[in-house]
Amino acid sequence: MREMLADGELDVLTGDYLAELTMLILGRDRLKDPDLGYAKTFLRQLEDCLGLAAERGVRIVSNAGGANPAGLAARVRKLVDDLGLDLTVAHVEGDDLTPRAAELGLGTPLVAHAYLGCWGVVECLDAGADVVVTGRVTDASVIVGPAAAHFGWEPTDHDALAGAVAAGHVIECGTQATGGNYAFFTEIADMTRPGFPIAELRRDGSSVITKHPGTGGAVTVDTVTAQLMYEVQDARYAGPDVTTRLDTIEVAQEGPDRVLLSSTCGEAPPPDLKVSLNTLGGFRNEVDFVLTGLDIEAKAELARRQLEDALPARPSELTWTLSRLDRPDADTEERASAILRCVARDTDEKVVGRAFSGVAVEMALASYPGFSLTSVPGKASPYGVFTAGHVDPAQAPHVAVLPDGRRVDVPPAPRAQPLEVLPEPPLPQPLPDEPSRSAPLGTVVAARSGDKGGNANIGVWVRTEDQWRWLAHALTVERLRALLPEAAELPITRTVLPNLRALNFVVEGILGEGAAAQARFDPQAKGLGEWLRSRHVEIPEALL
């Protein structure tokens, strides 16, 4: 926060503090203490930076209110008083549907929060608020709200709103737009400390993505495209205020560290609001056995048999994974070793707690040769399960609480018909047959992957028209299944985005019950795209 305020000019400083897993954590915090439920890191940052923001005339908009925006607003007001500043604070609420979840047909989750849009933020800014905190608005809403307030947009200005959503989607994850998690990161001169991105928004909804001068990282067509492809489903990117057509966005380098987003089209939002539902799935524990040298498979089988035989009660779910990281005739002990992971889950904390951990440790002198653990397993930990629900917008009372305490009801935006998947656009002409050779897909293809509940997306794109003519035909759903055997039996959909020279794949169910359940080695699918890039395929030599 201090870097953003001190290193250059800003009108509004925004921050996205929430994720699906975060809402579970904040909901549990509030159950323990009704005064909590917000992102405490935000408050600590304000203690350091609020005076600087006031001095520079920068307004602050953040969804750090999480499960308790009113509580955070009260703490910010106290901080303003303690610091002797002349600032006003407002907040947005109404997203918390937890007390009414059952009557709304959402079951009995631990927490239930509707994804609200930007118009509550607009009301707060129009009333003169210097600091606005919200609960579960969409990630982009903290960017769209200031733009809509500044330019006086109406809820029917769909193209402008969609352009701001695109800009918001790019900068919401911070340095992922300036080189963080970027496939071709070795091309960036200084990745030690990437600068945070800035969106310069324009009245028509177009924007320039940039960063403060002299900061690390880079802003290029590819770093911006990488974030556009992050955690998306298909060409229609639905939100509570507008549906953004990802297939219309044009991305161009305007100058050094300046990328123009333009031509984005928007449509009316879908009829229902999405709701984040988090339930307590149970408790989990895990142990990692180190297997070294010869007979790895036999050692793994012995460890598995011994642990399962000695458990006083069998957990409802016991998952074993053997990672063959070892190699023959290795020159270091680590290179001669594999990892056998056992993950235990149960609704009873005791079943996967000390009893499970104790059995694993007590095997040490009675098991395979070279027995070792990466660390001693500890207590069981709770895990959550994320699912998405939907409600009529009228069931989620969107309320802006202004600096003077007045409460303003925010009406839902005009809605559209249910979303339909767009037909696939025409593919480019394929390249003529020419010599090819086997090479990693990532030699020419970039990728970015992420999670949405139990599903994962993998966005891939290329830089040149010839590469696109090859990729659009070469990387089909069936080819993806062959390259990623873990996804071979799962439903997969492909979306073609010609403007970005990109394909997006959604792999359903690969993350089980979602990131909070930690059902997979890579529970948020962050490395799934990099695995794909490492697979060898036949690539035309001209492209290499």
Domain identity same for 140 and 7: yes
Q: Across the chain, what does the average pLDDT equal?
A: 95
CATH classification at residue 302: 3.30.70.380
Residues pairing with 283 in the sheet = 346, 382
Of 503, 504, 496, the C-alpha closest to 425 is 496
| pLDDT one-digit tens code per residue, 98-131 | 999 999 999 999 999 999 999 999 999 999 999 9
| pLDDT one-digit tens code per residue, 160-172 | 999 999 999 999 9
Domain identity same for 170 and 143: no
| pLDDT one-digit tens code per residue, 251-309 | 999 999 999 999 999 999 999 999 999 998 899 999 999 999 999 999 999 999 999 99
Q: Which domain holds residue 521?
A: 436-543
**Of the residues 239, 267, 295, the one at which a domain ends:** 267
Of 207, 128, 124, the C-alpha closest to 161 is 207
Domain identity same for 2 and 151: yes
Q: From the centroid of its chain, how far is CA 124?
A: 27
Record the pTM: 0.94
| pLDDT one-digit tens code per residue, 195-221 | 999 999 999 999 999 999 999 999 999
465 has a pLDDT exceeding 80: yes
Residue 275 covered by a domain? no
What integer pLDDT is reported at residue 453 of this predicted model? 84
Choose between 500 and 24: higher pLDDT: 500
pLDDT band at 417 (very low <50, low <70, confident <90, very high): confident
Residue 464 covered by a domain? yes
Which residues are within 8 A (CB) of 489 and not within 5 positions of it... i.e. 6 or more apart? none
What integer pLDDT is reported at residue 456 of this predicted model? 95
**Of the residues 233, 267, 301, the one at which a domain ends:** 267
Residue 103 covered by a domain? yes
77 has a pLDDT exceeding 80: yes
58 has a pLDDT exceeding 90: yes
Domain identity same for 8 and 138: yes
Q: Mean pLDDT lowest for which of 22-31, 339-348, 388-397, 483-492? A: 22-31
Q: Can you tell me the mean pLDDT for 320-339?
A: 96
What integer pLDDT is reported at residue 522 of this predicted model? 85
91 has a pLDDT exceeding 70: yes
Domain identity same for 89 and 73: yes
Can you tell me the distance from the alpha carbon of 40 to that of 401, in angstroms, rounded to the nearest whole number? 21
DSSP codes joined into one string, 305-357: HHHHHH-SS--SEEEEEEE----TT-SSTGGGEEEEEEEEEESSTTTTTHHHH
Q: What percent of the chain shows pLDDT beyond 70? A: 99
Can you tell me the distance from the alpha carbon of 451 to that of 531, in angstroms, rounded to the nearest whole number? 15
Domain identity same for 256 and 225: yes
What integer pLDDT is reported at residue 518 of this predicted model? 65
Q: Can you tell me the mean pLDDT for 531-537?
A: 97
What integer pLDDT is reported at residue 517 of this predicted model? 64
Domain identity same for 3 and 134: yes
DSSP state of 422: P
Q: Mean pLDDT lowest for which of 93-102, 417-426, 438-447? A: 417-426
Which residues are within 8 A (CB) of 1 and not within 5 positions of it... i.e. 6 or more apart? 13, 15, 45, 46, 48, 49
Nearest-10 crossing angle of helices 69-83, 40-56: 50
**Of the residues 383, 414, 449, the one at which a domain ends:** 383
Domain identity same for 152 and 187: no
Residue 428 covered by a domain? no
Domain identity same for 208 and 301: no
385 has a pLDDT exceeding 70: yes
Six token digits for residue 142: 């903290």
Residue 118 covered by a domain? yes
Evaluate whether 20 touches 278 at the Cβ level (below 8 Å). Answer: yes
Domain identity same for 322 and 187: no
Domain identity same for 78 and 150: yes
**Phi, psi at residue 242, to the nearest 5°?**
-165, 150
Residue 170 covered by a domain? yes
CA separation (Å) from 351 to 282, 286, 340, 345, 358? 11, 12, 21, 8, 11
| pLDDT one-digit tens code per residue, 484-517 | 999 999 999 999 999 999 999 999 999 987 666 6
Domain identity same for 510 and 369: no
Q: Can you tell me the mean pLDDT for 120-144?
A: 98
Residue 276 covered by a domain? no
Please give the tally of structural domains in the chain: 4
Residue 272 covered by a domain? no
